[in-house]
Amino acid sequence: MNRLAVLLTFVLLGCTGPFVRVSAPPSAVPQQAGLTSGSACGMMILGLIPARMTDRTARAYEDAIHQAGSTGLTETTVTTHWYWAVVGTVHCVDVDGTATR
């Protein structure tokens, strides 16, 4: 019974990730700098081992503001998609929005 409880604990805790704040609140009157987008992917190897999965949204956000040379985004849209790979699945996040300075 103890082995089952330990196994169940590891399985349930292994499927969680930390809350990630991707940016600070925008300034009172942000200046718009145009549309931008960014993306980032991670992989679930054999459906058990996460590789670069937990920070995908933060990396996609950083990619979007880096491409625009801005400090933040407003009117943000986040989409996800995935596809099969030979040893698991690849999960991607796309962040689109209006760049602000």
Domain ranges in the chain?
A: 2-100
| Beta-sheet pairing, 88-100 with 49-51 | unpaired
Distance from C-alpha of 36 to C-alpha of 45, rounded to nearest angstrom: 30
Amino acid in the structure at residue 23: S
pLDDT at 7: 76
Strand order in the sheet with 32-45: 49-51, 32-45, 88-100, 72-85
51-63 pLDDT, tens digit each? 999 999 999 999 9
3-53 pLDDT, tens digit each? 888 777 776 666 666 666 666 676 677 788 899 999 999 999 999 999 999
Q: What is the pTM of this model?
A: 0.74
pLDDT at 2: 82
